[in-house]
Structure 1
Amino acid sequence: MAAEQPARRPGGRSARVRAAVHQAVIDLLGEEEWDGLSIALVAGRSGVHETTIYRRWGTLAALIGDVVTERLTRSSPVPDTGTLRGDLESYALQVAEDMAGPLGPVFIRAAMVGTRGQGEQESPRQFYLMERAVQLQAMLDRAGDRGENPPTLLELLEVVLAPLYFHVIFFDAPVGADHARGLVDRLLTLTGRT
């Protein structure tokens, strides 16, 4: 008979460590240049030993990716309104709101940053985009399961998400609710799904 594994408590030390490290990353990104961020700085700010951070996340890129993914999942879960249009509009409005919020620049930077000087390690962009792509594909798959004809993930990213980011990056201003809804209208019209 196999030995029983000890039950893991929800929360506990592991949750406190993750919360402290995540908050330290967010705080430091508000104060430091992105390239100046390091595991050592995160450890100092969070009070969590460097080896614990390395053991849990492995790299700074993995840590940043985890922070961004967790924040987006918590603050902007992929919607399930029961209709394709409702899901797409709700998602577009959430993204526009996130980009206008205090963490907007962090989300944008994580989506854009590469792996300069990190060798073969994955970038925060890879973690963030892969996780979000899986979530968005599930939303589109749900629409297909309901008998709707959803756009492809690439169409969603190019017609709705890219312009939302573009406005913040190049115009330094997030789009409003009407503009976000208009992007969804454009997507559904372009893909013949109105």
Structure 2
Amino acid sequence: MTNTTLARLPNGLTIHLKEIHTAPIISHWVWYRIGSRDEQPGLTGISHWVEHMQFKGSLNFPAGALDKAISREGGFWNAFTHLDWTTFFETLPADKIDLGLRLEADRMVNSLFKEEEVESERTVILSEREGSENEPLFRLGESVQQSAFDHHPYRNEIIGSPEDLHIIQRADLYQHYRANYHPANA
């Protein structure tokens, strides 16, 4: 990246800052070095599920308060999981950068993973997977991916296998979160 400032904080967080003054907004992204390729057999889809859980409340931003806090300020936020990483982002008015930073800092260390939210998201993710299975290109892609990467973690769908999604528990999700979603891995 050209004209960027690079810094590493004492907690291990690496920051890349690129100033572009064409609009009065801030786009704040946190990229974690954890994706579906890092998942263990029997836990496929856990990174994607942890991504979902990080929208379900943290110590200082209870469930529902996160959406309201961002939308009240005219912002947008989302996340995605990939084979190699998981990313969270917010785009807000520039004078609300502190909101994005506070939200991500809290989500990074204080996500709650309430049991009822875990079960609710199990249903959401299984439905998401079932919806994808109705698409011929998903089935073709999954088959090609499994064949091409027979002995490599890339063989697994990011969303996970239905079998694994049925057996993953809150403790599995929370352990995966604590082990991977921290400043030194972002």
User: What TM-score, normalized by structure 2, do the two folds share?
Assistant: 0.32
User: What TM-score, normalized by structure 1, do the two folds share?
Assistant: 0.31
Higher relative contact order (CA 8 A, sep 6+): 2
Higher-strand-fraction structure? 2
Higher-helix-fraction structure? 1
Larger Rg: 1
